[in-house]
Structure 1
Amino acid sequence: MTTQDLSMTANKLVAALQKPASEFTKADIISYIKENEISMVNFMYPAADGRLKTLNFVINDEAYLDAILTCGERVDGSSLFPFIEAGSSDLYVVPRFCTAFEDPFADRDTLTMLCSFFNKDGEMLASSPEYTLRKACQAFTDVTGMEFQAMGELEYYVISEDSDLYPATDQRGYHESAPYAKFNEFRTECMMHIASIGGQIKYGHSEVGNFTLNGKIYEQNEIEFLPVRADYAADQLMLAKWVIRNLAAEYDYEVTFAPKITAGKAGSGLHIHMRIMKDGQNQMLKDGVLSETAHKAIAGMMELAPSITAFGNTNPTSYFRLVPHQEAPTNICWGDRNRSVLVRVPLGWSAKSDMCMLANPLEAPSHYDTTQKQTVEMRSPDGSADLYQLLAGLAVACRHGFEMDNALEIAEKTYVNVNIHRKENEDKLNQLAQLPDSCAASAECLAKQRAAFEQYGVFSPAMIDGIIKKLRSYDDGNLRSEVQDNQEEMLKLVMKYFHCG
């Protein structure tokens, strides 16, 4: 990162320390705490329920501060993860300095860091979601010689009391402006907080979904991030959800990342964009078209798509969103700019024209390297996902594509360039495999494909066993057909999983 980049950063610690977060050291953290008279330090870490847990420390003196930063602290692992037994439950949590930020919601000056889990032998916990993602990224690099990057589109509904002023058009909220969009200011304040604690935001906007129900406004919003190393991307999404919920509590709003609120209204996804980098260059394009590298990664996702739902669609309401004839995918296929496919290749600025100069005739030619912008987008995941497991699963799938002898054949076979749901494309539709339609079905897919995720020690067998057990416990094989036309029963399910992820 250059000095010019740092001069415009919204990250308070990066601005103060004048170095990128990836280079933060323990000495930097201690110096910042002393110079800014920070009185408390928080450790935060995600548990099996997908929520961040918090451990508070009052700074007694510099020796104590050095001790907790160096050694971390003990926690009860059995209260955090179901696979850890109470008889041998102690874990260590050790802070990662690159994640440090000032808590924007604390009543007193507080520095917070995300932590990694370690076992009794001082080894990183094999079944920790965060470590699983790190292992997945390392295995991807070991196999391909390249770096796996990702970013998320975080969709959510803001819910508040109804207002008769400037009513929005039902299901037409995409990129709406105030006063028809009611929560733009809330979203932009969320964005500023997320940026101040290290989130690399691309943009924010209102989304399609808006409706009134039982005297309340439901308005869908989205915050989208920039592609970064996949482990950083998961941290940013985790913290973004924490920020949005905390600010909503201050505003007395309700917020939900639930996949589906009610029938006939837009569900909330967590679309994941990916790109593959080598020596700072995006490998997704070659000579202006999608590269062989990209095709192999897509083929891997096509092959393992049925089991990726086990990480990205983790409660029964997920499968009320994944229904035919809507923008959420059900068929295992990919295509260009097509929102009905599972993996979409969005516009990548591959046109040769200089659009800036055409829009602004006074400008000189820009010669901007737009190849960096090309990504591919997995559209099945939703807000119930375990962020670290999901990105780890996608890294495994993309790596798997490079290990498949028939990857390019699979990519060609699963490509569609049409609206797959139109009558004239029925034959093509019938040739495509389908995503699971329930948690129970997703569990069986993961059981069949688990070897790919356990390869190279990425996902531990205990973690895979735990995911399968949890998904099977919902016993929801026929739930979608039983409930999908019953709004009252669907709302009961929505409320049960309202705070998922």
Structure 2
Amino acid sequence: MTTEQLTASEEEVIAEINENNVDFLRLQFTDILGTVKNVSIPARQAEKAFTEGIYFDGSSIEGFVRIQESDMRLVPDPETFAILPWRQKDGNAAGRLICDVYDTSTGEPFEGDPRRVLKNALERAEELGYTINAAPEPEFFLFEEDEEGSATTKTNDAGGYFDVAPKDLASDVRRDIIYGLEDMGFDVEASHHEVAEGQHEINFTYDDALSTADNVATFRTVVRAIAAQHDLHATFMPKPIPRINGSGMHTHISLFTEDGENAFHDDEDEFNLSETAKQFLAGVLEHAPAITAVANPTVNSYKRLVPGYEAPVYVAWSDRNRSALIRKPAARVPAASRIELRSPDPSCNPYLALAVMIHAGLDGIESGLDCPEPVRENIYEFDEQKREEYGIDTLPSNLGEAVDALEEDEVVYDALGEHVAPKFVEAKRQEFEEYLVDVSQWELDRYLETY
């Protein structure tokens, strides 16, 4: 390929690299399961990375390509440059650039790249005249490590919701995580101890959907790295401890028009929601079972999605309580009007999860779906008969059911693209089948000596 000239933003990155004595760059991307991968290069190769890309073997990456078509190319996005706060040593530093993946055989963006899948969703929104903002609320647990440095499920505090020291012993860890996030360009709004012992939440500000997905991937990396400096293990596993609240990633989303107006807001509506917002909301409800396979992608996700632990399992919306799948949060100003999908968990691939939410909502707009009435009562207190009277369905109860729903839903399946969709289904089918033939410690404790 021909070498291109550096853009102004690329030149700015190279200047920052020189000013901060960056010696290595991590070129970051994710596989289809959301695992962050990176290729490390000497910082002196930055110009080559921008103008030519960096080649790598894609056959070893989950869900990418076959052995016979393995060469892929990473093209860094200069807007994502950040210095890694935990990797500054002896006057030198390491930098990070999030990359788009290109197919070397065609020279085109690789459709198996999750970031490309999200960009496709945003392009569809743009064709309809919208940009999309999103804000996630990822929760996580902090556990102690054993003598070998392996993770345990022993929490390092006995705190609860919004507790402070001495019960919340992790406040210093959260502080260091926040400093690290801010060093990487995050605008952190708040942090607090969550409901369960050892559980925490750090919220960062609304942003465009692509930046938000990049931020979630970065957030998980930063939290783990800085927790490790405190000899703690941070996990985004949805339900690491039985019979207590699991970790969710409630996701706020809204659409804006080309002139910068919030397309979800309507002063005249009882709920301050526009017809566009209601159609988008109806689309998400319509496709919620299939979305669940992507937003709750592990066997363990469904240990969280059960009644009784504040996790949403009922396909409904409300402006007053958190028992419904979608909540309409109060908004002080029109620009803040949004909906909150409460089912996703932080084990999901943020690019794919946002992509299917967006496609589902846009389908609601394009199809002119009617939004059901909000449920203002506590659905957790409904019996099955009352839920049937209200027409309230439930989310899939396990990963197998969710994948079935995904395969049956053309809108959500197609949202993942021809490359990602079948490979994602294949991976999740295999995961669920392996789970079904395994024997848990609970079964051994329950049955081994009884029968």
With structure 2 as the length reference, what TM-score do the two structures score? 0.87
Show the counterpart of 1:356.
Answer: none
Show the counterpart of 2:185.
Answer: 198
Work out the CA distance in 1 between the residues paired with 2:407 and 2:376: 32
Work out the CA distance in 1 between the residues paired with 2:193 and 2:119: 33
Show the counterpart of 2:49.
Answer: 68
Q: Given the superposition, is the C-alpha separation of residues 266 and 483 from structure 1 closer, same or farther in structure 2, using an over 3 Å criterion?
A: farther
Show the counterpart of 1:224.
Answer: 203
Q: Is the 8 A contact 1:99 1:198 kept in 2?
A: no
| CA distances 1:441-476 after superposition (whole Å, capped 9, x unpaired) | 11110111034542xxx5322211112112222336
Within a 5 Å distance, the mapping from 1:324-403 to structure 2 comes to: 324-349=307-332, 370-403=333-366
Work out the CA distance in 1 between the residues paired with 2:43 and 2:384: 65
Work out the CA distance in 1 between the residues paired with 2:249 and 2:344: 5
Aligned partner of 2:117: which letter? T
SS at match of 1:25: helix
Q: CA deviation at 1:333?
A: 0.7
- The alignment status of 1:111 with 2:95, answered yes or no, reads yes
Q: CA deviation at 1:168?
A: 3.5
Q: Is the 8 A contact 1:205 1:221 kept in 2?
A: yes
- The alignment status of 1:307 with 2:290, answered yes or no, reads yes
Work out the CA distance in 2 between the residues paired with 1:135 and 1:43: 22
Q: CA deviation at 1:438?
A: 1.1
- The alignment status of 1:255 with 2:218, answered yes or no, reads no
| CA distances 1:298-354 after superposition (whole Å, capped 9, x unpaired) | 0010111000111111111111111123311111111113211111112223xxxxx
SS at match of 2:287: helix
Show the counterpart of 1:137.
Answer: 122
Which range moves more in the overlay, 432-441 or 471-480?
471-480
- The alignment status of 1:55 with 2:39, answered yes or no, reads yes
SS at match of 2:101: strand
Q: CA deviation at 1:486?
A: 6.2
Show the counterpart of 1:358.
Answer: none
Q: Tell me which of 219, 224, 238 is aligned to 1:245.
A: 224
Q: Is the 8 A contact 1:348 1:374 kept in 2?
A: yes
Q: Given the superposition, is the C-alpha separation of residues 331 and 85 from structure 1 closer, same or farther in structure 2, using an over 3 Å criterion?
A: same
Show the counterpart of 1:20.
Answer: none
Q: CA deviation at 1:96?
A: 0.2
Q: Given the superposition, is the C-alpha separation of residues 71 and 284 from structure 1 closer, same or farther in structure 2, using an over 3 Å criterion?
A: same
Aligned partner of 1:381: which letter? P
Q: CA deviation at 1:182?
A: 0.9
Work out the CA distance in 2 between the residues paired with 1:52 and 1:206: 26
Q: Tell me which of 99, 121, 126 is aligned to 2:111.
A: 126
| CA distances 1:201-229 after superposition (whole Å, capped 9, x unpaired) | 2211110011xxxxxxxx10001122211
Q: CA deviation at 1:94?
A: 0.8
Q: CA deviation at 1:118?
A: 0.1
Work out the CA distance in 2 between the residues paired with 1:488 and 1:255: 28
Aligned partner of 2:18: which letter? K
Work out the CA distance in 2 between the residues paired with 1:207 and 1:157: 9
Q: Is the 8 A contact 2:138 2:202 kept in 1?
A: yes
Work out the CA distance in 2 between the residues paired with 1:379 and 1:271: 4
SS at match of 1:421: helix
Q: Given the superposition, is the C-alpha separation of residues 86 and 286 from structure 1 closer, same or farther in structure 2, using an over 3 Å criterion?
A: same
| CA distances 1:77-116 after superposition (whole Å, capped 9, x unpaired) | 1111334101110100010000001111223322221111
Q: Is the 8 A contact 2:33 2:348 kept in 1?
A: no
Which range moves more in the overlay, 153-162 or 373-382?
153-162
Q: CA deviation at 1:167?
A: 7.0
SS at match of 1:445: helix
Q: CA deviation at 1:58?
A: 2.1
Q: Is the 8 A contact 1:300 1:401 kept in 2?
A: yes
Aligned partner of 2:427: which letter? K
SS at match of 1:282: coil
Q: Is the 8 A contact 1:149 1:275 kept in 2?
A: yes
Aligned-pair RMSD on alpha carbons?
A: 2.6
- The alignment status of 1:461 with 2:418, answered yes or no, reads yes
Which range moves more in the overlay, 91-100 or 282-291?
282-291
- The alignment status of 1:87 with 2:68, answered yes or no, reads yes
Which range moves more in the overlay, 374-383 or 390-399?
374-383
Aligned partner of 1:34: which letter? N
Q: CA deviation at 1:73?
A: 0.7
Work out the CA distance in 1 between the residues paired with 2:15 and 2:52: 18
Show the counterpart of 1:367.
Answer: none
Q: CA deviation at 1:420?
A: 1.3
Q: Tell me which of 382, 393, 398 is aligned to 1:438.
A: 398
SS at match of 2:394: coil
Q: CA deviation at 1:483?
A: 7.0
Within a 5 Å distance, the mapping from 1:289-308 to structure 2 comes to: 289-308=272-291
| CA distances 1:363-394 after superposition (whole Å, capped 9, x unpaired) | xxxxxxx2222221111111220111001011
| CA distances 1:32-75 after superposition (whole Å, capped 9, x unpaired) | 22333332222111123422222222244xxx542222112111
SS at match of 1:333: strand
SS at match of 1:204: strand
Q: Is the 8 A contact 1:420 1:426 kept in 2?
A: no
SS at match of 2:340: strand
Show the counterpart of 2:81.
Answer: 100
Q: Given the superposition, is the C-alpha separation of residues 486 and 343 from structure 1 closer, same or farther in structure 2, using an over 3 Å criterion?
A: farther
Work out the CA distance in 2 between the residues paired with 1:287 and 1:181: 41
Q: Tell me which of 12, 26, 33 is aligned to 1:42.
A: 26
Show the counterpart of 1:498.
Answer: none
Work out the CA distance in 1 between the residues paired with 2:445 and 2:295: 26
Q: CA deviation at 1:258?
A: 0.8
Aligned partner of 1:168: which letter? A
With structure 1 as the length reference, what TM-score do the two structures score? 0.79
Which range moves more in the overlay, 332-341 or 280-289?
280-289
Work out the CA distance in 1 between the residues paired with 2:284 and 2:372: 13
Task: Report sequence identity in percent.
Answer: 28
List gaps (5 residues or longer) in structure 1. 1-22, 211-218, 350-369, 490-501
Q: Is the 8 A contact 1:230 1:391 kept in 2?
A: yes
Work out the CA distance in 1 between the residues paired with 2:97 and 2:306: 39
SS at match of 1:346: coil
Work out the CA distance in 2 between the residues paired with 1:152 and 1:248: 20
Aligned partner of 2:345: which letter? D
Work out the CA distance in 1 between the residues paired with 2:327 and 2:433: 29
Work out the CA distance in 2 between the residues paired with 1:483 and 1:308: 28
Q: CA deviation at 1:423?
A: 4.4
